[in-house]
A and B are shown apart, each in its own frame.
Chain A
Amino acid sequence: MDGGSDAAQTDKLRLCPKATDVDPTGPMKRVRTTQTVLSLAQRCLSGLLLLVVMVAASWADATGVVALREASQALAGASLRQVPVIVEHIEAAGKESALPLFEAMLAGNLYYQRADNRIVITRQTEGGDYAIRDAVTGESLGVVAKKSIRKVKVNNRLRSQLRATIARLTLFSANVSWRKSAATNLLNNLSADNVALLQEARAVESDAGVAELIDTALALHTLKTSTDRKIRLRALEVLDGSLQPTVRNQLLNLTEVDAQGQYREADAVVRTRAARFLARIDGKIKFFGFLETLFFGLSLGSVLLLIAIGLAITFGVMGVINMAHGELMMLGAYTTYVVQLLLPNHLEYSLLIAVPAAFLVSGSVGILIERSVIRFLHGRPLETLLATFGISLILQQTVRSVFSPLNRQVATPEWMSGSLEINSIFSLTYNRLYIFLFALLLFCALQLVLNHTSLGLNVRAVSQNRDMARAIGIRTDWVDALTFGLGSGIAGIAGVALSQLTNVGPNLGQAYIIDSFMVVVFGGVGNLWGTLVGGLSLGVANKFLEPTTGAVLAKILVLVFIVLFIQKRPRGLFPQQGRAAE
């Protein structure tokens, strides 16, 4: 879920009244049920957020709208006794499109306007007024004072009815992902009512994934309530291999001893079986935890690869470390920002446009730097290092003056947000996944350019022996400029990728640059494979060290490791061959 909907979600949650506000005089038990109701409501809210967005689109359905409006209109001024019937009518009339209304009602945000009895969903503003929108169409109706609207009354009985209605609507919806999230919600909040509903749903469920979830939920319930050993063991079998956290908790509960030293589970057969399944689940969790760390490591590694690959090209060919590389990357990130600013309605394509745009912007700035400064410092790598550092300061300050020193917001397109869910404990976020694939793609493209084009041939010739290359007619100064432009352009592309992972600000370039130097030093500049291996292995090493040592210490350890490593291989894993090597 992207940042914007997260904010909307917290907004919603904040508006849920606390349990004690709802019923301050009620007995403890009731307060507790209210809390569960509310926590269910919150879970539903978060789980169904996507659903609400989708429903907003289907609100346009005109016939449904009329029926739903008619049915819901009855809520205005209705007595508590009438409401349950009205709710049933609304459900019949609106089906899934009535979900936002029910959600709001459950959260206590459903009001009607005194003037025209229109049913509205409210959100309290900071000033204490209410921002309202139509409960049927979702159309925003502005901000009104509290006295011009009236709350649709809800009591606890109604809340459980609403809860059941919402569960039913989603559980029997035509949309698989809604059903899935509804089933997951119910799995985590099992009660007798839910079980009946689940059994009903199971009979008609066609999707294997959702059916499995429901089976798990039902098995959990059986395990908890049944006393027949045979039935319970069969239920346990169903739970085998499930990665739902609730299942693990339940199994853990079966194997633990309580404060008196007694096993919570009296039946020894069930207990040992549960322990065996628990061990199997823990093994799986460990395995997927390992995969997750690996994924994060590869993701960090791919970012390092993206950054370091441009550095490695310029360093390999010209023997020059470009200290402004980070800032060229920053320019790429800002290009993304500008592209999105210019094309606010084409967010989906913004990255596709930003990639070549950033390549051109950073690449031409790179060529400008090479032509105006670096070529005068030829053969003096240390001076080049200082001069490019000066350029990095100038670029940073330019961006600060032009765009402001504050971070800019770069939006994530829909297709890059969210995550690929493998199972309930392991999912890959799309942005990291795409960036990883993109880095590999870029690597392959560069390999092709360097090994199968005439530019690549020239570049390799110059990097191996500059004088000889010139003697056979290669225009080395042009090769230098193009190489520098290529390296810088790739930095720009890396900037586009980074804009999807971190904040875009004037200091963007500084954050990763030393790490990417390390990649170049570690990998060597003999060929690009060094950068690939160096980047990925440093990324993975960092992420695997982090849980035991903490992020900072992990970074320090990696740095120390590299210092020691270059004792053995002073020129990295893949050292440069030929005259330029010393």
Chain B
Amino acid sequence: MTSSALPAPLTGRVTALHELRARAPLFLAILFATTIAASLGNLLFPEDSLFHVSTYTITLLGKYLCYALLAMSVDVVWGYCGILSLGHGAFFTLGGYALGMYLMRQIGDRGVYGNPELPDFMVFLDWQELPWYWAGFDQFWIAALMVLLVPGLLAFVFGYLAFRSRVVGVYLSIMTQAMTYALMLGFFRNELGFGGNNGLTDFKDLLGYNLQADTTRVGLMFASAVALGLAYVISQWMMGSKLGRVIIAIRDDEARARFIGFRTENYKIWLFVYSALLAAIAGALYVPQVGIINPGEFSPVNSIEMVVWVAVGGRGTLYGAIIGAILVNYAKTRFTAIWPEAWLFALGALFVGVTVFLPQGIVGLFKNRLAGRAT
């Protein structure tokens, strides 16, 4: 599957460190300048001040950062390795559920039914005891481990099955979509023990901090920024290294990479797992900020939307994915507030427009401008 529209592989004697040094500082500076400014605006300035940043904005910003991390995880596999996953929502949501379960246990006897052991929905369903797979979720470290372990394992199993039998291209995309669809159907069932239709919600606190408090909100947004920054640095370094070059080689011509002697399926499997982990972390950071996780997040449409964030920003560049996620979601927030009917038109047009006219996204547009000026 060669595609001339994709960014070219690295050439010349550019080392991974080089690449990282060239890109990361600017990105990190912008990221942390924004988040720190917003935090200070929220915490230091009174509500009537010009510089005050509302808690709503903070939460929104935190949400966008989670989306950005998610978009980056899609970009890692799609932009760099040509694996179009239409099921990354599954990893995101599983990560979210894992942390959501911890948050559910933290409610304790403050729920509507006041049962110290069982979450409200289980009392409602007349369950007598916690299912075995809920055991240990009252410990944060176990929940945090599960955030990584469950989606990682799913990605490994799925990737192992798919990549080893050389399922590629459209087939793979359809299978990933089926995966998240199956999970959605499953999680809608009450019997599964994850709250069915309503999912997990009504959270009270995280590690003892009240989730409604401004400081907690700021903290969560900050945590999202740190996660995004770290993921960016690690991914950028990875993609600049020799490993990254193999991955790009697989994207451009898998058969040739295999003939040269690389076990391409192994590279793909582990890249897929890495990407799933990023998505899961994004999900885990997302849930406490929005306060709910339900099976609707598994819906295939969500997963496709993630892909369009990356496409808009420009795939194959990590900062492109981030820019795309933030831009599209900002547009969504504005559109759905002002003129809800138009949003689907706009999103649809975005899908078509970007794929036809802007194969390299916004980043590509600017790159071409710059290149044009230079010559």
Residues of B within 8 A of A401 (CB): 341
Residues of B within 8 A of A553 (CB): 186, 189
Residues of B within 8 A of A319 (CB): 170
Q: A382-B173, A556-B185 are in contact. Are A394 and B178 (CB under 8 A)?
A: no
Q: Which of B127-135, B234-242, B348-356 contacts A (4 or more CB under 8 A)?
A: B348-356
Which of A383, A393, A552 meets B189, CB within 8 Å?
Answer: A552
Cβ of B366 < 8 Å from any Cβ of A? no
Output the least CB separation between A40 and chain B (Å).
Answer: 40
Alpha-carbon distance A568/B164, docked complex (angstroms): 11
Q: Are A386 and B185 in contact (CB under 8 A)?
A: no
Residues of B within 8 A of A396 (CB): 344
Q: Are A389 and B181 in contact (CB under 8 A)?
A: no
Q: Are A517 and B177 in contact (CB under 8 A)?
A: yes
Which secondary structure characterizes the binding site on chain B?
helix
Q: Are B170 and A321 in contact (CB under 8 A)?
A: yes
Q: Are B174 and A517 in contact (CB under 8 A)?
A: yes
Which of B165, B170, B174, B344 meets A394, CB within 8 Å?
Answer: B344
Cβ of A381 < 8 Å from any Cβ of B? yes
Q: Are A390 and B350 in contact (CB under 8 A)?
A: yes
* CB nearest to A568 among chain B residues: B165
CB interface residues, A 524-582, toward B, < 8 Å: 552-553, 555-556, 559-560, 562-564, 566-568, 570-571
Q: A514-B178, A559-B181, A570-B165 are in contact. Are A397 and B344 (CB under 8 A)?
A: yes
| Contact count band on B | 35 or more
Q: Are A566 and B300 in contact (CB under 8 A)?
A: no
Q: Are B348 and A560 in contact (CB under 8 A)?
A: no
Cβ of A400 < 8 Å from any Cβ of B? yes
Cβ of A377 < 8 Å from any Cβ of B? yes
Residues of B within 8 A of A390 (CB): 308, 347-352, 355
Task: Map CB proximity to B onto A300-321 as digits: 1 under 8 Å, 0 otherwise.
Answer: 0000000000000001000111
Cβ of B307 < 8 Å from any Cβ of A? yes
Output the least CB separation between B290 and chain A (Å).
Answer: 23
Output the least CB separation between A550 and chain B (Å).
Answer: 8
Which of A386, A387, A517 meets B178, CB within 8 Å?
Answer: A517
* CB nearest to A562 among chain B residues: B178
Which of B161, B174, B349 meets A521, CB within 8 Å?
Answer: B174
Q: Are A563 and B161 in contact (CB under 8 A)?
A: yes
Q: A514-B300, A521-B171 are in contact. Are A385 and B84 (CB under 8 A)?
A: yes
Residues of A within 8 A of B189 (CB): 552-553
Cβ of B167 < 8 Å from any Cβ of A? yes
Task: Map CB proximity to A onto B303-339 as digits: 1 under 8 Å, 0 otherwise.
Answer: 0100110010000000000000000000000000000
Cβ of A252 < 8 Å from any Cβ of B? no
Residues of A within 8 A of B188 (CB): 552
Cβ of A490 < 8 Å from any Cβ of B? no
Output the least CB separation between B204 and chain A (Å).
Answer: 31
Q: Are B178 and A385 in contact (CB under 8 A)?
A: no
Q: A377-B356, A564-B161 are in contact. Are A555 and B182 (CB under 8 A)?
A: yes
Residues of A within 8 A of B116 (CB): none
Alpha-carbon distance A386/B164, docked complex (angstroms): 25
Alpha-carbon distance A319/B173, docked complex (angstroms): 13
* CB nearest to B304 among chain A residues: A389
Q: Are A566 and B167 in contact (CB under 8 A)?
A: yes
Alpha-carbon distance A217/B348, docked complex (angstroms): 64
Alpha-carbon distance A250/B308, docked complex (angstroms): 65
Output the least CB separation between A325 and chain B (Å).
Answer: 12
Q: Are A381 and B170 in contact (CB under 8 A)?
A: yes
Q: Are A397 and B355 in contact (CB under 8 A)?
A: no
Q: Are A383 and B167 in contact (CB under 8 A)?
A: no
Q: A391-B348, A393-B344, A401-B341 are in contact. Are A555 and B174 (CB under 8 A)?
A: no
Cβ of B11 < 8 Å from any Cβ of A? no
Cβ of A415 < 8 Å from any Cβ of B? no
Output the least CB separation between B150 and chain A (Å).
Answer: 17
Output the least CB separation between A380 and chain B (Å).
Answer: 6
Residues of B within 8 A of A397 (CB): 341, 344-345, 348
Alpha-carbon distance A373/B350, docked complex (angstroms): 13
CB interface residues, A 190-211, toward B, < 8 Å: none
Alpha-carbon distance A555/B181, docked complex (angstroms): 10
Cβ of B175 < 8 Å from any Cβ of A? yes
Cβ of B179 < 8 Å from any Cβ of A? yes
Residues of B within 8 A of A400 (CB): 341, 344
* CB nearest to B307 among chain A residues: A386
Residues of A within 8 A of B355 (CB): 377, 380, 383-384, 386-387, 390
What residues make up the interface of A, taking CB atoms closer than 8 Å to B?
315, 319-321, 323, 373, 376-377, 380-387, 389-394, 396-398, 400-401, 514, 517-518, 520-521, 552-553, 555-556, 559-560, 562-564, 566-568, 570-571
Can you list 19 A-B pairs, Cβ within 8 angstroms, ordered by A?
A: A315-B170, A319-B170, A376-B356, A377-B355, A380-B3, A381-B170, A382-B1, A382-B82, A383-B355, A386-B354, A387-B355, A390-B350, A396-B344, A400-B341, A556-B185, A563-B162, A563-B175, A566-B162, A567-B164
New A-B contacts (17) at CB < 8 Å, excluding given A373-B356, A387-B355 = A377-B355, A382-B169, A385-B173, A387-B356, A389-B351, A390-B308, A393-B344, A400-B341, A401-B341, A514-B300, A517-B177, A517-B178, A521-B174, A559-B178, A562-B175, A566-B175, A570-B167
